[in-house]
Amino acid sequence: MRQLLIVAVLLLACVDKTLCSINVINNNTVASDATELDENVTTSSLRSSSTKLKPTTTASRTPASRTPASVHTDEAPAAAPKSGKEIVQNAIRKAIGGGVPGAIAGAVQVLCLMWLRTVINYQYRYGSTFVQALSHLYGSGGIPRLYSGLGFALIQAPLSRFVSTAANDGVHNLIQNLEWTQHWGPGREVVVAALVVGLFRMLLMPIDTSKTVMQIEGEKGFAKLMSQVKKGKIHLLYAGSFANAASSFISHWPWFYTYNRLSRSEAIQILLPWTAGRDSLRNALIGFLSSIVSDTVANFMRVIKTTKQALSATNVGITYAETISVILAVDGLRGLFGRGLRTRIMGNALQSILFTVIWRGLAQRWQQPKQVEKDEEQYLAPEELVENERNETNSHVNSEIESS
């Protein structure tokens, strides 16, 4: 556990340093854009002011009562309600904006910490301690053994993370813009997103099963699985799919519910004032707490799912009841609910810290160009308003002259 904490601190320091460097570059870029916009606004304002100061003999003939209302008010017109198509497009755009950074963070997470996931899955299957599992796996083939199934993991993890983060951001945006769901709280939002994630995880089961078998049993176990598949037993690739969907739902809901609650409130800053202004550290703490809640709730489903996947490679047709019986016969209820839990909490907390910091850091930078565009529109709005007012006034004066 001490080694895990040391690795966590080092990884967090590296990620924070990288994101800080990127942030400096982005801040300089945004600052230069803002300066340029300010100069444009100043120039345009001077032009419009000089135009207004030019004396006109016709303007004095305009009755005040007939001056357009737009000249006397600075209030912008109320925004038109969004159509259903716009709401869906915004939700998709928001989902992609959160999903792509999530996929990148998932790939980085695999490359850095897959060895830890291999140890956890081995513990789920055999119930050994962290040190025993790590020693056995390392003795069976060194570092490559700890990264067995890396190719499958690099496909599965980014896709899973993309869907998880896209569902969280996209569903939130969609629900908040639909009239009949605007009153929904974070709990309902996350339930909908968790259902989407659970169903998608079932589609990835062949990849997940292949990866899990390679992590637990190595190349020999994977060869046995493929020999069964070649005989037409393709359903073995979907072993544990219902348990996987259930565990995905059970783990996704508490993780993102906790994350959304903490990220949308000031609880972290109030309880820990020294995190104010340190987004990377704040995101790391939120990811850590979310992971603890999620793992404690969903661990037993992962034990069942992983054990069934491993047993299906050699025991064709094993049921969930038989899988649970095997676990209970070896370790009892403690094994069902506690296998690998301590390692899972520490290891997954480490992964959540790494994932959350990278995901939110990239997501914020993904949205910065759009914010610059909004700022540009905001800067240009006064000039357009002055131009519109001048055109309306001149048009009104001309019509007044013609009528007289």
pLDDT score of 280: 75
Are 307 and 327 spatial neighbours (Cβ–Cβ below 8 Å)? yes
Q: How confident is the model at residue 213 (pLDDT cuts 50, 70, 90)?
A: very high
Domains of the chain: 1-7+87-362 (1.50.40.10)
Are 101 and 363 spatial neighbours (Cβ–Cβ below 8 Å)? yes
1: exposed, middle or buried (Cβ count in 10 Å: 0-12, 13-18, 19+):
exposed
User: CB neighbours of 185 closer than 8 A, spacing ≥ 6?
Assistant: none
Distance, CA of 180 to CA of 376 (rounded, Å):
33
pLDDT tops 90 at residue 11: no
Q: How confident is the model at residue 91 (pLDDT cuts 50, 70, 90)?
A: low
Residue, of 134 and 47, whose pLDDT is higher: 134
Nearest residue to 247 (alpha-carbon basis) of 197, 190, 313: 197
pLDDT score of 118: 93
Distances from the Cα of 171 to the Cα of 194, 306, 319, 357, angstroms? 10, 29, 35, 21
Distance, CA of 51 to CA of 10 (rounded, Å):
61
Most confident of 274-278, 325-329, 357-361: 325-329
Nearest residue to 237 (alpha-carbon basis) of 217, 200, 210, 211: 210
Identity of residue 291 = S
Q: Which DSSP helix (H) or strand (E) runs through 302?
A: helix 279-312
Q: State pLDDT tens for residues 34-45.
A: 444 444 544 444
Q: How confident is the model at residue 147 (pLDDT cuts 50, 70, 90)?
A: very high
Planar angle of CA 35, 361, 264, nearest 5 degrees: 95
pLDDT tops 90 at residue 210: yes
pLDDT tops 50 at residue 29: no
The arithmetic mean of pLDDT across residues 377-387, rounded, is 50
What is the token pair recorded at 31? 């600052």
Distance, CA of 87 to CA of 94 (rounded, Å):
10
pLDDT tops 80 at residue 333: yes
Are 165 and 252 spatial neighbours (Cβ–Cβ below 8 Å)? no
pLDDT score of 62: 42
pLDDT score of 37: 44
Percent of the chain with pLDDT over 70: 65
Residue, of 208 and 403, whose pLDDT is higher: 208
Identity of residue 16 = D
Asked which of 276-280, 339-343, 391-395 is least confident by mean pLDDT, the reply is: 391-395
The whole-chain average pLDDT of the chain stands at: 72
Q: State pLDDT tens for residues 162-190.
A: 777 777 777 777 787 777 777 787 778 77
pLDDT score of 402: 44
- The pTM is what? 0.57
Q: How confident is the model at residue 83 (pLDDT cuts 50, 70, 90)?
A: low
